[in-house]
Structure 1
């Protein structure tokens, strides 16, 4: 984004009224106060709260905003400070310029003095840091030692002053006593007596001041020793933690070797451990000594922190026989753990987006600079990152407990979006993507781009562990200038084989903020209603939109699981980027009326249980598009995939390798090729007097859903059989 400095703002007239809080005296590390900042010619100067600290000048609309929102910051080390007139200050650094105005000349001079001192200190610190090649811990240690030396020298100075004052005070007292003994007129004796009394008072006051200074220094020295001990303790704890992690890593490697050498013994040990954990988890249901209130139709649920014992546990060994598990261990594939770092390309977003306001995102010709090296089909497959939630749900005997796990799965699909502000590649018509994890996790996933206008993708997943998931997603998006709204259309269907339970839900709206100016960030908002069409049980999930003024935890999600009669049984709470918990309701009662006059229900619950927790991101994720461990392997080349698979898309592959200029050229070629094929198909349809579309997807066909009544694309079979035969002759040549 090109930053344009505003034209010089108009001067305040003599009659301009302004109020400002006087800043504290310069000299301290932090300097705060009210100043007027030029915004634009419509609003003119606006009153803002400025904070000068550590060589940075930041401003906020109010003092309360200091806790969460900084409106702007300028580094004084590289800034130019200028004064226009009696009350104005101009700060410029790079392409950023602040026109500020104080209420009085005196206040302006105080700010200028503070800014100049802070600039000099920042430049000095920057020079010191550039010449200092020692590690940070060494510099911190040197700084602490230097501070202690200064404190000791100051203590010595005070002791010397104390001796001098005592010495000179005693001499003064003797001199005054000798004066009193002289024969002087009465008037002179009274004056000497008065001077003696004042000297005595001065000596008493000086002694009191010295004693107070000594006490202060003693306290400071004691506090410094306490801080040193605390710092030393933290260093020891850190060292101990590093040693523990290293030891755990060694144990992990030795266990892996033991597993490969003696898989039967390891299998039995892990199975016993998993049974013990299951019993411990089940015993939590019997704890009735603690109760927690939760309020219906409100986000103010009172919960407790769930135990961190609920960890990611693979359940494959409970479903596969020992012989099959051993075969899987022999055949399992090691996937990649990193991709090339993202290059640092700069691009003017406004020059591209200014002509696209109000258009569909899929119709905007975007360079790969705004993409991530994954297609929308691969992003859709990322919904399966926490597939073990569905494996666990398939084993549930209670449909209400199963609903809680399904709800947690529906929330978990958003956890990968918290840092993923880049857009995925729009799939070409006929493009496919497969994820075959049958031997590792028991499922196979297939996506196909079945329509281009509007863009629609069909997804089908079949698991040997008792469930089938299918969805057809059409992305509707609008660019509104400051933000981009992404609205997924279409229903998600989940069917469990043994119980026959059939769940249906839809996704919420995603919003990308600060499109033009500022740092991009993503929020999820809206409601999800999950319906078990077999039992008519429901779950209402609410994704609360982020607000500067809300006291709620950001990205909060709340929900209630109810039976077919509408009776609530579970309270769900958490965040869509971190974790979800469920608390079983044991009693409900009518509570007081809320702010809108509605009477709320008070729920008493058992302690909450952890349903889902996000996996940590891989190391160096910030330089790899913030990909999760699953996202890192989605574009990994595999043998035997269809010729239309997203892994084989050349522009996406070039972008992943960091060759963005070549990727942009290849992207234009593919899009033009797709448009030419579409024009040819439309011409053939016109010649055949067929007004409808002539494109037919390869692996999906349209059927009317008996539950929703909608016509959507469902898997018609044949893909995995073609893969077995290694026959892809039916695939179109789209790349």
Structure 2
């Protein structure tokens, strides 16, 4: 009993004096660094922690005293028990010893209860701290939302007061998602201009975060040689030019999508972590277009590049190129179905010189991983080429699609050569809920002739965020790093640009970073999405251009996606037959790969056979070293359009 009591007393003392007290202080003082805690709250919190620390010290002292005096009492009783004393005194001594034993048991129980209480307090203090921090964050979020609504209300009042015909200030701020009208003469505010001020409200205004060493001095006056007035003919309303009526009548609808039910989880549960291209997927999850055709859809807003040809300023041209790069995602907002994975050697041409002024050719140059080469020539003075490799992973709840490879755009007259890469696409709610797609990441567009740059940021969607959904922001800078334009909009609707007339650094934030405040002229529309055709929801949400891509056309190569039988059957609504045909084509492709493997094993070592079997020599493209990116990519080597003119397709493989 003596040994046990001393061990329990020592353990509790050690627990109280070292671990518990320090952890308790750490857990309960975690809010000291919380930016949202007011000074009064911090003072009260410190006082509470100080009082609790003193009480814990008192408990520790009492514990030491109980252990000390209890041990002394036990020794004294043991000594008395060893003495020869009368019977009556012996009985009294026995009663005292029993009471001392009960006292020791009660003290041990109290000490154990204190230890359990401290352990429980330590465990739950972190939970209470997180709950308190969450409530504080919600309070701040609510305050910011109310503040934002008040600002929007104020902007609407100013817009209402600024009736047509009244004099307006030539400078104003550029708000996300809409344009604020200029201040009228009766405005209640005294400021002459409004600014993008991230420190004031990071959700309503464009912000650019820079490191402290990159601080720039405030720029006075207007920027550089760019003439905003001359831009009216190029930048303003860039996407509102009416389309030329096509000389060839194209189809405006396809058969409605059948209503087939299928258990997705029964197919996908064994595919987590695998490449999407290696999963045997039925056509129920597809749309009746191949990946080559989806790649060609990027050209829907080609008129932006046609306009960019006429820009005399490279930074203005960069604005249109940036809008074009964003416009390629506008077709994906409702397009959650998977395009057909092209067969190796499959091609797709878009011969639209008469109405679109361009010719486009795609070829599937690799199957594992799936890779497609693309080349576009425009008679209006630009050309575009790319090799895109799709890397996709199924993660259970969502699907990530990472396009790899650089996109090149060159203007013949000016020699401006732009390079950029695509952002990451994520399909959410794969198993449960409504499917939706998001674009995230940063895109940097570089003009390798002038060194102009455009930094685009695709903000991820968050239910709790006060940002506009699918928001895109960006800044266009020249070769010396001077910012000229602010870009803003959403990748599914429109993009606008505003010319910067002055910039200045703001005061550093608590994390040491610094944001730049831009003063801009009124914003101009760069691009606006075309409305979807009537009944688009029953036609896979295809755009007007997408409806024409799989339309049967005479004279195309026998490897063209329009001639793919499973895709054609699916478009007509015959999904069962399409699934059967899809399996036949995939088995035919596997047999072709086995034949290449056997041929390679006869001509090279067995250890190199597997590697060489996947080496495929494209028909219309060839691998070259890209001098700008240092990567090896497939580039168009010519001959396709000449072969089409002669209708000489003897070199094409039989893949269908």
Is TM-score (shorter-chain normalized) higher than 0.5?
yes
The answer to whether the aligner puts 1:562 opposite 2:477 as a matched pair is yes
Cα distance in 2 for partners of 1:530, 1:337 equals 35
In the alignment, is the contact (CA less than 8 A) between 1:644 and 1:734 conserved in 2? Answer: yes
Report matched runs for 1:632-671 at 5 Å. 632-671=547-586
In the alignment, is the contact (CA less than 8 A) between 1:301 and 1:573 conserved in 2? Answer: no
Match of 2:306 among 377, 385, 391: 391
The answer to whether the aligner puts 1:421 opposite 2:346 as a matched pair is no
- CA gap of 1:311–1:444, structure 2 versus 1, over 3 A, is closer
- CA deviations 1:302-341 (Å, max 9, x no partner) are 38xx99966521587xxxxxxxxxxxx7x81010000000
Cα distance in 2 for partners of 1:426, 1:700 equals 19
- CA deviations 1:456-481 (Å, max 9, x no partner) are 00000000101000010000011000
Q: Give the 3-state SS of the residue equivalent to 2:599 in structure 1.
A: helix
The answer to whether the aligner puts 1:682 opposite 2:606 as a matched pair is no
- CA deviations 1:529-588 (Å, max 9, x no partner) are 000000111000000000111100000000000111111110000000000000000001
The structure with more strand, counted as a fraction of residues: 1
Report matched runs for 1:111-260 at 5 Å. none
Q: Provide structure 2 residue ranges, at least 5 long, that are not aligned to the other structure.
A: 1-137, 142-178, 185-191, 207-231
- CA gap of 1:299–1:411, structure 2 versus 1, over 3 A, is farther
- CA gap of 1:295–1:712, structure 2 versus 1, over 3 A, is farther
1:63 CA displacement: 14
Cα distance in 1 for partners of 2:198, 2:371 equals 37
Match of 1:613 among 524, 528, 532: 528
1:173 aligns with: none
- When the two structures are superposed, what TM-score results if normalisation uses the length of structure 2? 0.64
Cα distance in 2 for partners of 1:556, 1:299 equals 13
- CA gap of 1:541–1:368, structure 2 versus 1, over 3 A, is same
- CA gap of 1:513–1:352, structure 2 versus 1, over 3 A, is same
Match of 1:403 among 318, 322, 339: 318
Cα distance in 1 for partners of 2:371, 2:578 equals 24
In the alignment, is the contact (CA less than 8 A) between 2:292 and 2:372 conserved in 1? Answer: yes
Match of 1:375 among 290, 296, 312: 290
In the alignment, is the contact (CA less than 8 A) between 2:239 and 2:526 conserved in 1? Answer: no
- CA deviations 1:492-533 (Å, max 9, x no partner) are 000000000000000000000000000000000000000000
The answer to whether the aligner puts 1:293 opposite 2:195 as a matched pair is yes
- CA gap of 1:335–1:605, structure 2 versus 1, over 3 A, is same
- When the two structures are superposed, what TM-score results if normalisation uses the length of structure 1? 0.58
2:650 aligns with: 729
1:594 CA displacement: 3.3
Match of 2:241 among 313, 316, 323: 313
- CA gap of 1:385–1:291, structure 2 versus 1, over 3 A, is farther
1:302 aligns with: 205
Match of 1:708 among 629, 639, 654: 629
2:617 aligns with: 696
- CA gap of 1:299–1:64, structure 2 versus 1, over 3 A, is closer
Q: Give the 3-state SS of the residue equivalent to 1:687 in structure 2.
A: helix
Match of 1:623 among 522, 527, 538: 538
2:268 aligns with: 353
Cα distance in 1 for partners of 2:419, 2:268 equals 36
- CA deviations 1:191-217 (Å, max 9, x no partner) are xxxxxxxxxxxxxxxxxxxxxxxxxxx
The answer to whether the aligner puts 1:572 opposite 2:572 as a matched pair is no
1:337 aligns with: 252
Cα distance in 2 for partners of 1:309, 1:424 equals 32
Match of 2:367 among 452, 477, 491: 452
- CA gap of 1:535–1:332, structure 2 versus 1, over 3 A, is same
In the alignment, is the contact (CA less than 8 A) between 1:292 and 1:603 conserved in 2? Answer: no
In the alignment, is the contact (CA less than 8 A) between 2:398 and 2:428 conserved in 1? Answer: yes
Q: Which moved more, 1:711-720 or 1:561-570?
A: 561-570
Match of 1:548 among 463, 466, 475: 463
In the alignment, is the contact (CA less than 8 A) between 1:292 and 1:607 conserved in 2? Answer: no
1:685 CA displacement: 1.1
Cα distance in 2 for partners of 1:402, 1:338 equals 35
RMSD: 2.6
- CA gap of 1:590–1:511, structure 2 versus 1, over 3 A, is same
Q: Give the 3-state SS of the residue equivalent to 1:397 in structure 2.
A: coil
Cα distance in 2 for partners of 1:596, 1:632 equals 50
2:410 aligns with: 495
1:535 aligns with: 450
1:206 aligns with: none
Q: Give the 3-state SS of the residue equivalent to 2:410 in structure 1.
A: strand
Q: Give the 3-state SS of the residue equivalent to 1:702 in structure 2.
A: strand
Match of 1:520 among 435, 442, 449: 435
Cα distance in 2 for partners of 1:417, 1:624 equals 14
Cα distance in 2 for partners of 1:438, 1:292 equals 46
In the alignment, is the contact (CA less than 8 A) between 1:434 and 1:444 conserved in 2? Answer: yes
Q: Give the 3-state SS of the residue equivalent to 1:494 in structure 2.
A: strand
1:695 CA displacement: 2.2
- CA gap of 1:333–1:64, structure 2 versus 1, over 3 A, is farther
Report matched runs for 1:571-610 at 5 Å. 571-594=486-509, 596-610=511-525
In the alignment, is the contact (CA less than 8 A) between 1:296 and 1:603 conserved in 2? Answer: no
1:131 aligns with: none
Aligned length: 440
1:595 CA displacement: 5.2
1:22 aligns with: none
Report matched runs for 1:274-293 at 5 Å. 291-293=193-195
2:383 aligns with: 468
1:356 CA displacement: 0.1
2:160 aligns with: none
Q: Provide structure 1 residue ranges, at least 5 long, that are not aligned to the other structure.
A: 1-61, 66-283, 317-328
In the alignment, is the contact (CA less than 8 A) between 2:238 and 2:304 conserved in 1? Answer: no
